[in-house]
A and B are shown apart, each in its own frame.
Chain A
Amino acid sequence: MFEFFFKYSAYVYDKGEFVLAAGWPAIIATAVLAAIAIPVILRYSSVRGKSSRLDRSVLVTIRLCVLSIILFLLLQPSLAVSTAVPQENFVGIILDDSQSMQLTDYGDERLAPRSDFIHELFGNENSKLMMELNERFKPRFFRFSDSAERLEDLNELSYSGEQTRVGPALDFAHQELAAVPLSGLIIVTDGADNSIDGLSASLQSLRANSIPVFPVGVGMERFNRDIELTSVEAPTTVLAGSQVSADVVIEHKGFSGETVLLLVEGPDGIVGTQEVELPNQGDSTVVKAQFTTTREGPHLYSFRIAVQDDEMVRNNNQRDILIVVQDRQDKVLYVEGEPTNRTGFLRNFAIDDDPNLMLGVFMRMAENKFWRAGFESAEELAAGFPTTREELFQYKALIVGSFEADFFTTDQRQMIHDFVSQRGGSFLMLGGRNAFGEGGWQNTPVAEILPVELVPPFASAIDPFYVDVFVTPTLFGRTHPVTQMADSLELSLQHWQTLPPLGIVNQVGKVKPGAVSVLEGKTVNDETHVVLAYQRFGRGKALAFTPVNQWYWQMAFEIPLEDLTHETLWQQIFRWLVNEVPGQVTASTVVDRFAPGAPVTVTVGVLDDNFIEINNAAVTAIVTSPSGQTRGLELDWTVDTDGEYIATFIPDEEGFHQIHVWAGRDGKALGEDIAHVEIAKLSTEAFAAERRSALLARLAQETGGRLYSPENVASLPDDLRVSEGGTTVLEVKDLWDLPLIFMLLVALVGTEWSYRKVRGLA
Chain B
Amino acid sequence: MEVWRSKSFLVVAGLGVLLGGTTLAHDSPSLPRHTETVEEASGQAYGGYIGDRNFVISRGNGLHEFYFTRAIYSSWSRGYGRRGRGSWATDWPKADVQFLWGLKRLTNIDAYDFDNPVTLDNPDLRRYPFLYMLEVGAMQLTPPEVEGLRDYLTAGGFLFVDDFWGTYEWQVFEHEIYKVLPSHEIVELPLDHPLFSNFYVIEEILQVPNVGNGRSGYGTWEQDGYVPHVRAIFDDDGRLLVLINWNTDLGDAWEWAEDPWYPLTYSNFAYQMAVNAIIYAMSH
Contact = CB atoms under 8 A, between A and B. Distances in A.
Given A340-B282, A464-B30, A345 B156 contact: yes
Interface string B96-114: 0000000000111110000
A26 B281 CA distance: 104
Indicate the member of B107, B123, B124 with the most A CB atoms within 10 Å.
B107
Interface in A543-573: 548-549, 551-552, 554-558, 561
B282 A343 contact: yes
Given A366-B108, A371-B283, A433-B110, A339 B4 contact: no
A696 B31 CA distance: 72
Contacts of B199: 365-366, 369, 371
B198 A371 contact: yes
A556 B126 contact: yes
A697 to B, nearest CB: 65
A361 B282 CA distance: 12
Contacts of A338: 65, 108-110
Contact of A466 (B62, B126, B156): B62
Interface string A337-363: 111110111011100110000000101
B204 interface: no
Interface in A359-386: 361, 363-373, 382
A382 B1 CA distance: 7
Contacts of B279: 339, 365, 371
B254 to A, nearest CB: 18
Nearest to A558: B123
In which size bucket is the chain A interface? Answer: 35 or more
Contact of A364 (B65, B108, B154, B239): B108
A231 B2 CA distance: 57
B17 interface: no
A324 B151 CA distance: 40
B220 to A, nearest CB: 29
A555 B62 CA distance: 13
Contacts of A371: 198-199, 279, 283
B283 A344 contact: yes
In which size bucket is the chain B interface? Answer: 35 or more
A503 interface: yes
A505 B61 CA distance: 12
Nearest to A370: B1
B108 A365 contact: yes
B263 interface: no
Contact of B4 (A348, A369, A370): A369
B225 interface: no
A468 interface: yes
A372 B1 contact: yes
B263 to A, nearest CB: 25
B63 A464 contact: yes
B284 A347 contact: yes
Interface string B117-151: 00000011111010000000000000000000001
Contacts of B237: 352-353
A341 B155 contact: no
A348 B279 CA distance: 14
Contact of A555 (B61, B108, B127): B127
Indicate the member of A364, A368, A554 with the most B CB atoms within 10 Å.
A554
A561 B154 contact: yes
Given A339-B282, A347-B283, A365-B108, A551 B129 contact: yes
Interface string B59-72: 00111011000000
B278 interface: yes
B157 interface: yes
Interface in B34-66: 61-63, 65-66
A555 B157 contact: yes
Contacts of B157: 555
A344 B281 CA distance: 7
Contacts of B108: 337-339, 364-367
B145 to A, nearest CB: 14
Contacts of B152: 555
Given A339-B282, A344-B283, A561 B155 contact: yes
Contacts of A347: 283-284
A348 B156 contact: yes
A366 B127 contact: no
B62 A549 contact: yes
A344 B284 contact: yes
Contact of B156 (A367, A370, A548, A554): A554
Nearest to A345: B156
A554 B155 contact: yes
Contacts of B106: 366
Interface in A74-121: none
Interface string A298-342: 000000000000000000000000000000000000000111110
Contacts of A558: 123
Nearest to B158: A344
Contacts of A370: 1
Contacts of B129: 341, 344-345, 551, 555
Interface in B249-284: 278-279, 281-284
A519 to B, nearest CB: 18
A373 B198 CA distance: 10
B63 A505 contact: yes
Contacts of B31: 464, 466
B156 A339 contact: no
Nearest to B157: A555
A349 B156 contact: yes
Contacts of B283: 339, 343-344, 347, 361, 363, 371, 373
B109 A339 contact: yes
Contacts of A555: 126-127, 129, 152, 155-157
Contacts of A366: 106-108, 199
Nearest to A548: B65
Nearest to A557: B123
A340 B64 CA distance: 10
A361 B154 CA distance: 24
B66 A552 contact: no
Contacts of B1: 370, 372, 382
Given A339-B107, A361-B283, A367-B108, A466 B61 contact: yes
Given A365-B199, A557-B123, A348 B239 contact: yes
A558 B66 CA distance: 21
Nearest to B2: A369
Nearest to A368: B2
A372 B156 CA distance: 21
B69 to A, nearest CB: 12
B67 to A, nearest CB: 10
Interface string A175-203: 00000000000000000000000000000
Nearest to A433: B110
Interface string A457-474: 000000110101000000
A466 B33 CA distance: 12
Indicate the member of B65, B107, B123 with the most A CB atoms within 10 Å.
B65
B193 to A, nearest CB: 14
Nearest to B237: A352
A402 B66 CA distance: 14
B66 to A, nearest CB: 7
Contacts of B109: 338-339, 365
Contact of A503 (B62, B110, B198): B62
Q: Nearest 7 A-B pairs (CB), nearest first?
A: A557-B123, A503-B62, A339-B282, A555-B126, A466-B63, A557-B126, A555-B155
Given A349-B156, A503-B63, A557-B126, 13 more contacts: A339-B65, A339-B107, A343-B282, A344-B282, A345-B129, A348-B156, A365-B109, A365-B199, A366-B199, A503-B61, A552-B127, A555-B127, A555-B157
30 contacts: A337-B108, A338-B108, A338-B109, A338-B110, A339-B107, A339-B108, A339-B109, A339-B279, A340-B282, A343-B282, A344-B281, A347-B283, A348-B156, A363-B283, A368-B2, A369-B4, A370-B1, A371-B198, A382-B1, A464-B63, A468-B62, A552-B62, A552-B126, A555-B152, A555-B155, A555-B157, A557-B125, A557-B151, A558-B123, A561-B151
